[in-house]
A and B are shown apart, each in its own frame.
Chain A
């Protein structure tokens, strides 16, 4: 499955306010609107579905319990992502036998790039895809996460910094590092892409 479940231009402020006022239907709608997205994001941290479900469960219980004192976030989704991220870290930390004393838990983040022949039309694209897959896989978790938030969730630096609980400058630096790694690995492919584009372009001209 590779269909995108990410929604953009979301404006759930009205629903959020209704939920905060104690509207159960609004609360239920928030759950149904974000359940899939949250599971998808959570799945990047752990493949243990129980942990994700527990974290989602706890997150929503907390939301309802504290609804009266909650603020109104700029983006409901970002707020939920951030909360889920923390909830999952807590769950994983409590499950591991060793207490992690580090502030930033040592976590893993993995994205499984689809490898579907039907979707990937030509050989070059397929090669790019393969390469990307290998490169991404070898990036540190935090770089992988920032790429995911940037290219998959389409988030800006401020939102990313907020979710990952780093400052915006650190987010810039982190993505810059990720790009460097990405580009270094993709350099060889670049030429291939260029050639393929060129041939495409040529074909287009030819048909005209």
Chain B
């Protein structure tokens, strides 16, 4: 410390001197010796030194607010805040990271699922009205002729897996043959028709399927098909190979009839809007008219229902059919709109 400069110091200079202030506030031994020597060397400065220190000391005599009583309480609050903050912060942080990943995964997976669903699970469905016969071309160019009041559906994507369709009602299938090597059948070459409890697996063939009221009949016009059906007796799936002309009837989970038709093509006459029956009872005929054409048929006496028309009928419309019935069975048929009442003559 330069002692000489203090020889000319004024009161204000002392008040503004860092070293002097430190000496007054918090004197060290060196400070005390130094400032004593200042006053010894420059006695004229004694007054200023004293006054400056008095002012500072007087000023420093002031009320002190330590708030010591609350020191612990405030600390506890800080501690509590930090703890809750840490927990909250970690939670948010984890949530953020987690959420980011989760959101991304969710987005990716939902898009993937959506695309997959769109591609794989979206279905095409056809339904025909009563009396309507519609020809449908499937994605593999197989053709299905759908009878009235029938439904056909399939999952849109047929890539790398068997062609599968679901049917209720009646349909005539003309399945395109994809298989080239009969010893090796690829899954994609198979064609499966699902109806009720019967699955019809084919490679390429034409057949008729009618499945209504828990009853299914399948008639094979050409080719070979493998039938798989649930047999009630064994409650196991049974398999049956059908060849051209084979015809089966399946009802109430039971194979009811199995025969070979002389002219299986007759099964498909409906595709030409022909109503054809062979040795059919009135009940069977009215069932077809109800199911395929949407008529409400009332047979007054249950005994009438068992009346059978011997031989074949093949007519092109309902009026003709009714005409045939009334003449051959000698029953009275009243016909208004879609309501038909059959009474004894």
Q: Kindly supply a per-residue 1/0 record for chain B positions 193-229, scoring 1 wherever the CB is within 8 Å of any chain A CB and 0 otherwise.
A: 0000000000000000000000000000000000000
* Choice from A43, A49, A125, A154 contacting B54 with Cβ under 8 Å: A125
In the bound complex, what is the Cα–Cα distance between A197 and B77 (angstroms)? 52
List chain B residues, Cβ under 8 A from A60.
78
Q: Known interface pairs A57-B81, A64-B82, A197-B47. Does A36 touch B71 (Cβ–Cβ under 8 Å)?
A: yes
Is A129 within 8 A of B61, CB to CB? yes
Which positions 105-122 of chain A face chain B at CB distance < 8 Å? 111-114, 116, 119-120
A53 with B55, Cβ < 8 A, contacts A2-B61, A61-B78, A116-B61 known: no
**Given known contacts A36-B67, A151-B21, A151-B60, is B12 in contact with A183 (CB within 8 Å)?**
yes
Q: Is the CB of A128 within 8 A of B64?
A: no
Residue of A whose beta carbon sits closest to that of B71 = A35
Given contacts A52-B67, A151-B21, contact A111 B82 (CB under 8 A): no
Best-surrounded residue of B12, B61, B75, B77 (most CB of chain A within 10 A): B61
- Asked, given contacts A35-B67, A113-B58, A113-B59, whether A183 binds B11 with beta carbons under 8 Å apart, the answer is yes
* A193/B51 in contact, CB under 8 A: yes
Residues of A within 8 A of B85 (CB): 61, 65
Contact B78 A49 (CB under 8 A): no
Which residues from A are CB-within-8-Å of B22? 8, 154
Cβ-based interface call for B66 (8 A): yes
C-alpha spacing A36/B65, complex, angstroms? 7
Is there contact, CB below 8 Å, between B67 and A154?
no
Decide: B59 and A8 in contact? CB cutoff 8 A.
no
In the bound complex, CA of A111 to CA of B64 (Å): 9
- Minimal beta-carbon separation of B20 from chain A (angstroms): 11
Interface of B, secondary structure class, is helix
Which residue in B15, B51, B61, B77 is a CB contact (below 8 Å) of A179? B15
Complex CA distance for A198 and B46, rounded to whole angstroms: 11
Cβ of A173 < 8 Å from any Cβ of B?
no
In the bound complex, CA of A29 to CA of B180 (Å): 88
Within 8 A of A (CB), among B10-30: 11-12, 15-16, 18, 21-22, 25-26
From A31, A36, A116, contact of B66 by CB (8 A): A36
A1 within 8 A of B: yes
B64 in contact with A3 (CB, 8 Å): yes
Query: Which residues from A are CB-within-8-Å of B47?
Result: 194, 197
Q: Given A113-B61, A114-B63, A119-B61, are A186 and B26 neighbors across the interface (CB < 8 Å)? A: no
Q: Which of A2, A6, A28, A31 contacts B63 (CB 8 A)?
A: A2
- Note all chain A residues with C-beta closer than 8 A to B74: 35, 53, 56-57
A32 interface residue (CB < 8 Å to B): yes
Taking each of A3, A32, A151, A175, which has the highest tally of chain B beta carbons within 10 Å of its own beta carbon?
Answer: A151
Is B61 within 8 A of A114, CB to CB? Answer: yes
Q: Does A156 contact B (CB under 8 A)?
A: yes
Minimum CB–CB distance from B45 to chain A (whole Å) comes to 12
Interface residues of B (CB under 8 A from A): 11-12, 15-16, 18, 21-22, 25-26, 46-47, 50-51, 54-56, 58-68, 70-71, 74-75, 77-78, 81-82, 85
Closest 10 CB pairs between A and B?
A43-B65, A39-B67, A36-B66, A112-B63, A114-B61, A8-B26, A154-B25, A113-B62, A129-B58, A60-B78
